Copies of this chain bind each other. A is one copy, B any other.
Amino acid sequence: MAYRDEKLDEEKVFKDPVHRYIHVRDRVIWDLIGAREFQRLRRIKQLGTTYLTFHGAEHSRFNHSLGVYEIVRRIIENFREEPFWNDDERLLCLCAALLHDLGHGPFSHSFEKVFDLDHEDFTRKIILGDTQINAILKRVDPQFPQNVADVIHKTYFNKLVVSLISSQIDADRMDYLQRDAYFTGVSYGHFDMERILRVMRPKEDQMVIKESGMHAVEDYIMSRYQMYWQVYFHPVTRSAEVILSKILHRAKELYFANDFQFKLKPRHFESFFEQEVSLDDYLKLDENVVFYYFHIWQEEDDEILADLCRRFVDRDLFKYIEFDPADQYQQLIELKESFIQAGVDPTYYLEVDSSSDLPYDFYRPGEEEERLPIHLQLPSGELKELSRQSEIVESISGKKRTDHKLYFAKDLIDQLPDNDVSKQRIYDILKG
């Protein structure tokens, strides 16, 4: 029997807290899950630093990848008697679903910003490069790895297949909303996925939604909205990300400095600093490795690096206040000056960070590309874009909302003597 058609003797199941069971029948899927590049996802948290805000959010990208696979499996199962895709497309969908996040590294968002990387590039490289994953996919068909990469990259010719993984209401989003809600424990993030799966209809190059399912989709959009503001953009999480970025910047600066000797050299980071990250380097850098360095660097001679690492490890984060850099440009300059006078380096201890959100057609950190809008199919067969039918969605659609905050090491300022002039000035500015 061709490898692509091989079935396991008996279906395997993974117990999953979100979807109850994840079912695997295809040998190819089973092999992919066992591949080392896929197992590596166990060592990368799904939500980066969010566990420092919501202690339950310690789940890995491995979890989420299985979940996306399972949702796509169920969608295909629902349509198993439909003629519109053949068996090859089926396996392609499943593989793309399983592997879509393969290129994520530790704390992707911060690493991507600091080192100008794109995790999607690495997803492609893992699929097409000299990896266990690639070897498995090639056994299906020499062209198969490229097809999987194309689906994930949204360039595959069959847009219906693409839309299962990447659209405004795709398996990716449906899994992470539910999963992140489950592990954080928040009461948002619940919607009736079973209903949504049942009202999906394939229509040329996308999945559309029967109009009778509009309210379930509204609920999904609202969940997304709430999860963004309550979980994904939580200021405590962002505070941890600020520190993380500062560590990376500081280590890079010291690496290029002539006069600094690391006790523990940043070997795993060097190619990142040098902007020449090979696939092998990339795969070696998982969260444990990052944490190991931060752990050891607490004892480096550079006070700033040691202090920032201690802050991250001990969760001694920066405080924050509302701060709009556009309106408060002058204050920001003065703050920086006062920090310098107070002997606190503003480059590392002061940061303005903004998060923004387009609630309906918004992007997710690291997913800046446009996504297909959601279309409802009216009983007449006509398609209508969701926000034109739903007042709730219309109300939150396309309105960019930005939340600016100033993060700073309040403890360093607090410990100055009360008669310190710069301390007084800093608090005067902060109080507005």
* Known contacts A226-B218, A229-B215, A395-B396, A59 near B62 by CB under 8 Å: no
Contact yes or no, A315 B226, CB < 8 A: no
Task: Spot the interface stretch: A12-20, A94-102, A348-356.
Answer: A12-20
Does A92 have its Cβ within 8 Å of any Cβ on chain B? Answer: no
- From B17, B42, B191, give the contact of A51 (CB < 8 A): B42
Asked if A58 CB lies within 8 Å of chain B CBs, one says yes
Residues of B within 8 A of A219 (CB): 187-188, 222, 226
**Main SS class of interface, A:** helix
- Across the interface, A392 reaches (CB within 8 A) one of B17, B39, B222, namely B222
A23 nearest in chain B by CB position: B198
Which residues of B have CB within 8 Å of A314? 36, 39
> Using a Cβ–Cβ cut-off of 8 Å, how many residues does chain A contribute to the interface with B?
64
For the complex, is A172 an interface residue (Cβ under 8 Å from B)?
A: no
Choice from B186, B194, B215 contacting A230 with Cβ under 8 Å: B215
| Stretch among A112-120, A251-259, A282-290, A412-420 lining the B interface | A282-290
B14, B192, B391: the one contacting A55 at CB < 8 Å is: B14
- State the number of copies, please: 4
Given known A-B contacts A55-B14, A58-B59, A391-B399, A34 and B315 have beta carbons under 8 A apart: yes
- Report A186-229 residues with CB < 8 Å from chain B CB: 186-188, 190-192, 194-195, 198, 215-216, 218-219, 222, 225-226, 229
The answer to whether the Cβ of A63 comes within 8 Å of any Cβ in the partner chain is yes
Cβ of A69 to closest chain B Cβ, rounded Å: 12
Which residues of A302-324 are within 8 A (CB) of B? 313-316
Stretch among A121-129, A148-156, A177-185 lining the B interface: A177-185
Determine whether the beta carbon of B55 is less than 8 Å from that of A58.
no
Question: Which residues of chain B are near A396, meaning CB under 8 Å?
Answer: 391-392, 395
CB-CB under 8 A from A192, the residues of chain B are 186-187
Q: Across the interface, which residues of B come within 8 angstroms of A186, CB to CB?
A: 15, 192
Task: List chain B residues, Cβ under 8 A from A55.
Answer: 14, 16, 42, 60, 62-63, 66
Is the C-beta of A56 less than 8 angstroms from some C-beta in chain B? yes
In the assembly, what is the distance between CA of A286 and CA of B219, in Å? 37
Residues of B near A190 (CB, < 8 A) are: 187, 190
Inter-subunit contact A295/B291 (CB<8 Å): no
**A143–B31 alpha-carbon span in the complex (Å):** 51
Q: Which residue of B lies closest to A20 (CB)?
A: B194
Q: Which residues of A contact B (CB under 8 A)?
A: 13-18, 20-21, 34, 36, 39, 42-43, 51, 54-56, 58-60, 62-63, 66, 182-188, 190-192, 194-195, 198, 215-216, 218-219, 222, 225-226, 229-230, 284, 286-289, 291-292, 295, 313-316, 391-392, 394-396, 399, 401
6 interchain pairs, CB-CB under 8 A: A16-B55, A17-B182, A17-B184, A34-B316, A187-B192, A215-B226
Nearest 9 A-B pairs (CB), nearest first? A395-B395, A17-B185, A288-B291, A292-B292, A187-B192, A36-B314, A17-B56, A288-B288, A15-B185
